[in-house]
Structure 1
């Protein structure tokens, strides 16, 4: 195995593997400290970044951070690599790639063409050499458009998942939350519920509730109950109205097995979703969630830093042509991202890496109450992500998910972000909202939302 070295003010640091080099170059994260892979000092971190900047990109194709022989995600990454798309970058080192990304030659079209040539470890490596503003500048140039019943990710749009979770899965409480979100223009990415009771009967009822609301309102959007992918396949067999198939994924085979999935199961689910033919203008139907620290929490990290493993999770998502991918950036807890500063950095890293790999990237801008963060930190991250061209964000009533017990963004935050960036909802969804408002039926009257959602007699 190769070794790498870097020198700072005459002090030489040696890194005995590619994984060790990447970990030492990573901005400070409590999860890496917990795993024992973080740099021991700021000086060592600088030395690692200097060594990483001079590392040829081809190194990542010949030395894997998790061995090819033991890990299905590594095999997916290497076996699906597009050598033709990589050719323009094949003589570059990581520092050269950073310079190219920040230059004028890296425009939207060239980034789209390059995406298949990049593997996760490459984009994770270059992110470690970037300031926050660099991550924003490059991600803003990326454009990833997907479609199901509406078109998401177009330039100048900012979409949201409307998350109407309810501690008792009460249909009326869910309907009120949906109404609240729709009045702020939320929900164009998806109306997605985390079920409080994750059994097939309850998920079936929730799916029918959501689909009934969507059909009554003639809303050009998609719905999802975020149950396990195997449940979604069984629900499809029962003719349930399954639009999107959801699954949490991670960057190693072991971590995915901890979620109860394999690549073969994801392939089967994708094919089952396609066969249902519920999309009207597109066939992107997979919805994946990720989060830094997932592999470490499953004790399946192989000594690799959590941000590199997070980027590897995007290779899993990319294989199934998803409609939506989002990192739940501050959800796992302070063991992995300690405070607001670390959460902000992680959110920008995740968005940057996902977009470079060609994914329709969103972020749940969130934190738990035992993290050293508050809503002001979330305001900062949300504003930066909106400036960076994030495809979608998560929004919940009052920015407080009472069922999952964490803090996210509220519907009012969406209104603020669209106002300051001049961004708009998905075009089909926006046209529907405008038509409903122009007809005087958005809230009341025959055919209005209140009546159609069963909230008035």
Structure 2
């Protein structure tokens, strides 16, 4: 179905819904690379005008990827809750924006609505929203998950402690873990990206983290971000797996490029649930996403990268995850060119995920060949904190020496908690106070005795004379 509109004496035509969605998207290098971006600001505004007038129900009747050709489309369609959709079923995309921004639309209303929304709907409305709109609506969303602690409560900000090492050296990883814990990080998860995707390495890392968590009764969870099949093998070998991780994307073909499908993810979740390691809840999955992943796999079906990103959230939503993380600037400037594009993408991703009912975090990050720097990350970090992001990354020195990119540090998390009066997950906060890492006012204190025997436990001390 073609659309056309005349603005300032010039007629703009859009051949189909994919084209309209792509042309309405704020500028980003990935869509330019794919040949999908608007050719001018005027064309983008024309597309946004038309998109605003489109009924939300149009997305239920006009699928961007055919139902028969894609299992993600089938998942989106089959899981749609018509009753939950009913309060907004009569609205256009533009009217939906107004509804989201209304005073009366609160956390309870947004939670009830989430099962009735499709990724294409939330992607569409995000394209006609200003950054402040994305922040305001996301800040009203509350998504709470549990495993050994409670993540996502209002007034809370959690941190993934990310102690990666370029050679998977256990001593180096253990040192980073202690550093992060002593700076109040690690309540979202202690999560290690292994340098090598091997079952033996995965098991060694899992045992290292489990030893620390068990010895100090830390109310948190661990994860080794190996491929999901590697983690299933680790479970079969008796490794102490808390969360199962996998990167996911918004089309069947893109997920195939990751070596996964929905059936494999279901198998992994059932394997993790069978261990019954959670004490407060059973959210056992951890997913990561990123704009541009489908395009880089040649599996975007002519759809803009932000809409494809939103479709990946339908995959994540199916498995009731503890954590979902958009690694927003990791893929590189081919997809998000500079700090401005990274900032916009981070706010979009967080908004879309939260609106779909997901426990969204963000890896506020960039690669060294992008036109971005740490000032851009400070800005995005603060904006996401205001928007109610469930968690961020804590990387030693904000420099991941294994993955080779720049993220946020343990100190950055401490900054954000101070400036926005945010606190860690309640169970983890109580543990920090009990161990003497924080004082009665929740402030970090110098206390070398807090984890005094940890170096010996984790074999950090020299055994020689």
Q: Which TM-score tier does this pair reach, normalised by the shorter chain? A: over 0.9
> Displacement, 1:87?
0.6
Aligned to 2:448: 443
> Displacement, 1:232?
1.1
Q: Secondary structure at the match of 2:137?
A: helix
Alignment of 1:75 with 2:74, yes or no, is yes
Report the Cα distance in structure 2 between the residues aligned to 1:38 and 1:203, rounded to whole angstroms. Answer: 41
Note if contact 1:444-1:450 (Cα within 8 Å) is conserved in structure 2.
no
Note if contact 1:444-1:451 (Cα within 8 Å) is conserved in structure 2.
no
> Displacement, 1:190?
0.2
Aligned to 1:31: 30
Report the Cα distance in structure 1 between the residues aligned to 2:5 and 2:288, rounded to whole angstroms. Answer: 36
Alignment of 1:100 with 2:105, yes or no, is no
Q: Secondary structure at the match of 2:286?
A: strand
Report the Cα distance in structure 2 between the residues aligned to 1:74 and 1:177, rounded to whole angstroms. Answer: 41
Note if contact 2:323-2:359 (Cα within 8 Å) is conserved in structure 1.
yes
User: Residues 150-299 of structure 1: matches in 2 within 5 Å?
Assistant: 150-299=149-298
Q: Secondary structure at the match of 2:135?
A: helix
Note if contact 1:169-1:195 (Cα within 8 Å) is conserved in structure 2.
yes
Q: Secondary structure at the match of 1:419?
A: helix
Report the Cα distance in structure 1 between the residues aligned to 2:66 and 2:409, rounded to whole angstroms. Answer: 42
Report the Cα distance in structure 2 between the residues aligned to 1:418 and 1:60, rounded to whole angstroms. Answer: 39
User: Residues 246-395 of structure 1: matches in 2 within 5 Å?
Assistant: 246-395=245-394
Report the Cα distance in structure 1 between the residues aligned to 2:450 and 2:234, rounded to whole angstroms. Answer: 35
Report the Cα distance in structure 2 between the residues aligned to 1:291 and 1:34, rounded to whole angstroms. Answer: 16
* Cα deviation digits, residues 372-430 of structure 1 (max 9, x gap): 00000000000000010000001100000000100000111011100000000000001
Q: Secondary structure at the match of 1:99?
A: helix
* Cα deviation digits, residues 4-36 of structure 1 (max 9, x gap): 223321222111111110000000010000000
Note if contact 2:208-2:458 (Cα within 8 Å) is conserved in structure 1.
no
Report the Cα distance in structure 2 between the residues aligned to 1:210 and 1:166, rounded to whole angstroms. Answer: 14
Report the Cα distance in structure 2 between the residues aligned to 1:446 and 1:195, rounded to whole angstroms. Answer: 25
Note if contact 2:160-2:191 (Cα within 8 Å) is conserved in structure 1.
yes
Report the Cα distance in structure 2 between the residues aligned to 1:116 and 1:61, rounded to whole angstroms. Answer: 13
Report the Cα distance in structure 1 between the residues aligned to 2:455 and 2:425, rounded to whole angstroms. Answer: 23
Aligned to 1:59: 58
Report the Cα distance in structure 2 between the residues aligned to 1:65 and 1:350, rounded to whole angstroms. Answer: 19
> Displacement, 1:441?
11
Report the Cα distance in structure 2 between the residues aligned to 1:271 and 1:394, rounded to whole angstroms. Answer: 27
Note if contact 1:442-1:449 (Cα within 8 Å) is conserved in structure 2.
no
Change (3 A) 1:191 1:387: same
Report the Cα distance in structure 2 between the residues aligned to 1:267 and 1:442, rounded to whole angstroms. Answer: 44
| Normalised TM-score (structure 1) | 0.98
> Displacement, 1:119?
0.4
Note if contact 1:436-1:442 (Cα within 8 Å) is conserved in structure 2.
no
> Displacement, 1:455?
3.5
> Displacement, 1:247?
0.2
> Displacement, 1:179?
1.0
Note if contact 2:203-2:239 (Cα within 8 Å) is conserved in structure 1.
yes
> Displacement, 1:449?
3.9
> Displacement, 1:446?
8.2
Q: Secondary structure at the match of 1:282?
A: coil
Note if contact 1:25-1:45 (Cα within 8 Å) is conserved in structure 2.
yes
Report the Cα distance in structure 1 between the residues aligned to 2:378 and 2:329, rounded to whole angstroms. Answer: 13
Note if contact 2:325-2:362 (Cα within 8 Å) is conserved in structure 1.
yes
Aligned to 1:41: 40
Alignment of 1:399 with 2:404, yes or no, is no
* Cα deviation digits, residues 314-350 of structure 1 (max 9, x gap): 0000000000000000000110000000000000000
Size of the alignment, in residue pairs? Answer: 456
Aligned to 2:87: 88
> Displacement, 1:452?
4.0
Unpaired segments of 5 or more residues in structure 2? 440-444
* Cα deviation digits, residues 87-117 of structure 1 (max 9, x gap): 1111100001000001112101000000001
- Range that drifts further, 350-359 or 197-206: 197-206
Report the Cα distance in structure 2 between the residues aligned to 1:290 and 1:8, rounded to whole angstroms. Answer: 37
Q: Secondary structure at the match of 1:336?
A: coil
Note if contact 2:436-2:450 (Cα within 8 Å) is conserved in structure 1.
no
Q: Secondary structure at the match of 1:195?
A: coil
Report the Cα distance in structure 2 between the residues aligned to 1:264 and 1:204, rounded to whole angstroms. Answer: 24
Q: Secondary structure at the match of 1:220?
A: coil
Report the Cα distance in structure 2 between the residues aligned to 1:134 and 1:443, rounded to whole angstroms. Answer: 45
| Normalised TM-score (structure 2) | 0.96
* Cα deviation digits, residues 34-88 of structure 1 (max 9, x gap): 0001001111000000000000000000101111111110010001000000011
